[in-house]
Amino acid sequence: MQRYPYDGCLSLRLEFPGSVAGVAESIDALVLVCPDPVMKGDVSILVGTNTAVVKKLVEACKEKVGDDFLHTLTVHPEIRNAYERVIAVEKCDNDDRRGTVWYLHPKPLKLRPGKNARVYGILKYSAALSDKTLLVDKPEESLFPE
């Protein structure tokens, strides 16, 4: 198990220039405040709500030039990769192929600042996974303060 310490969370307004995200956009997001030093090595999974930021940017790009925006807008390669993943998930959602992670603990888990826990689940997904990365997104109804 890898440990990723954090001190708390903040609500920040993230500013994306058009040269990076394809559109100039400001988006509010919750972010974790982590102490130094930053953890070295790969992190296999991050659970959070920042995929919502990427989804909002994708929607802003679509509104600007349409669904084919990746062929017409200038987008940073890392942001392009995130967009492509969100678009692939949207396509799976449209095909009604959304997966579910079944939580295997008998009781709900509360994770306090500075603490860590190993959480086990079973992935139920009807399509093949493209790689070892699994995106866990927040539920449709928000459980976090705005």
Residue ranges of domains in the chain:
8-98
Q: Residue 47: what pLDDT?
A: 47
In angstroms, the CA 38 to CA 1 distance is 16
Give residue 119's pLDDT band: very low, low, confident or very high (50, 70, 90).
confident
Q: Residue 22: what pLDDT?
A: 94
Segment 122-140 mean pLDDT: 62
Rg (the chain; Cα; Å): 17
CA 11 to the chain's CA centroid: 16
Percent of the residues in the chain that have a pLDDT greater than 70, as a whole number:
64
State which amino acid sits at residue 83. Y
The first and second tokens of residue 85, run together, are 């993943």
Q: Residue 44: what pLDDT?
A: 39
Segment 127-144 mean pLDDT: 57
Q: Residue 64: what pLDDT?
A: 94
**For residue 43, pLDDT beyond 50:** no
**For residue 146, pLDDT beyond 90:** no
Q: Which has the higher per-residue pLDDT, 134 or 30? A: 30
Q: Which residues contact residue 7 at a Cβ distance below 8 angstroms, ignoring those fewer than 6 apart?
A: 33, 34, 35, 113, 114
CA distances from 54 to 20, 21, 46, 89, 137 (A): 12, 9, 15, 12, 12
